[in-house]
Amino acid sequence: MWVPRPIDDAVVESLAEWADVRLGWGATAASWADVAPEVQGVLLRTARVDGAMMREAPQLRIVARHGVGLDTVDVAAAAEFGIEVTTTPAANSRSVAELAVALLMITRRGLGPALATAGFGAGAGSSGTAPADRASMTGRELSGATLGLLGYGRIAQLVAGIARDGLGMRVVAHDPHLDDEAIREAGAEPAGLDDLLRTSDALSVHVPLTDATRGLLSARELALLPAGAVVVNTSRGGIVDEEALVAALESGHLAGAGLDVTSVEPLPGDHPLRHRPDVVLTPHVGGQTREAMSRVGHEAAAHLRRVLLSPS
C-alpha cells in the first residue's frame, strides 16, 4: 500500500497492522516508480493518480481518497482498469463548515484591513493604526443578514444551522439536485440561482467542481449580488471566476471575499487577490483539524481494508 502524503500517525499505525505500508515522505520515502509494480492500494490525500499511473500498476485495486473531491483521480481510467475509487464525504464536513463560518465573519465584518494593520494578511507590515484608520474600519453584522448557499449538501447544511440558529441569519439555498421541499426540510428557503444571488448579503459556495460548475460565478453572476455583499468559497477553486472577482472588488461592488480554495494553489505571488486587504486567503485547510484528519484517515483506511482483505 502506498501513502504519498503525510496523514495522521495513528492511521498509518493501523494500516501497518495488516498491510505493507510504503510512505511517500521521510527517510525511506517511496516514489510511485518504487511501488507501482506491486501496489494494491493507495491512500490519496493531495497527490494525483492518473490513467498513466494506473497502467503501470497491474495489481492496483483501490484508490481511497483522504477527502471528498475526485479532481485528483482519473475516475474514467479507474473504471476502465476495474479500480475502485472511494471518498470520505462526511468525515471533515464539520471542520469545513466551521471555516466557512469563520471566513463569513471575517469578511462581513471587514476585518481584512484590520488584520493587515495588525501585521497579518495582505498589506501587513504597518507600524500601527492611526485613530482615523480605525474609524474607517466599520464592518457589518451577520445577524439579520441573508446568507445564500450555492449547493446544499452536508457542509452547506451545517453552515446553515450555525448561521440560522447561532447568528440569526436568514438562510437561502440553491441546489439543482434537491427539490424545494427537501431544502425547506433541511432548514433553508429554496431559490433559483439568480434569485439566490440577488438576495445574498453573504454568499458561500458549496458545489463540487465539474464541467457544469467551472466558472459558474462569472462577472454576470457576481453583478447580481447586492452591493456590499461578500463571497466565501471553501469548496473548490475554479467555480469563482477570479478575474471577475477582482474586478467586482476593485469597483467596490463587493465588500470582500474569503477563499480557502483558488484555481491555482497556491496563487502566484503577484496575483491581485494576494494583495487586497479585503480578501482573506487560507491555503486549502478547511478539513485540516486534528479531529477531521483522524476521522478522514480512519474512514479511508476502512475502505482499503474492506477491498484489500476481501477475495480478489
271-312 pLDDT tens trace: 999 999 999 999 999 998 999 999 999 999 999 999 999 876
183 & 47 share domain: no
In this prediction, residues 245-274 reach a mean pLDDT of 97
Per-residue confidence (pLDDT) for residue 55, from 0 to 100:
98
156-194 pLDDT tens trace: 999 999 999 999 999 999 999 999 999 999 999 999 999
Enter the pTM of the model.
Answer: 0.83
134-149 pLDDT tens trace: 777 789 999 999 999 9
Number of domains in the chain: 2
Domain that holds residue 47: 2-91+290-308
Quick check: 122 pLDDT over 70?
A: no
Quick check: 128 pLDDT over 90?
A: no
Read off the pLDDT band of 126 (50, 70, 90): very low
**What contacts 166, CB < 8 A, 6 or more positions away?**
none
61 & 182 share domain: no
Instruction: List residues with catalytic annotation.
Output: 236, 265, 284
- The CA dihedral of 175, 192, 139, 235, to the nearest 10 degrees, is 20
Quick check: 12 pLDDT over 70?
A: yes
44 & 157 share domain: no
269 & 166 share domain: yes
Is the CB of residue 38 less than 8 Å from the CB of residue 59?
yes
Beta strands in the chain (DSSP E): 2-3, 22-23, 41-44, 62-65, 84-86, 146-150, 170-174, 189-190, 202-205, 229-233, 254-259, 279-281
Q: What is the CATH number of the domain that holds 64?
A: 3.40.50.720
Query: Whole-angstrom Cα distance, residue 280 to residue 100?
Result: 12
117 & 18 share domain: no
Closest among 158, 144, 168, 139 to 101, alpha carbons compared = 158
97 & 201 share domain: yes
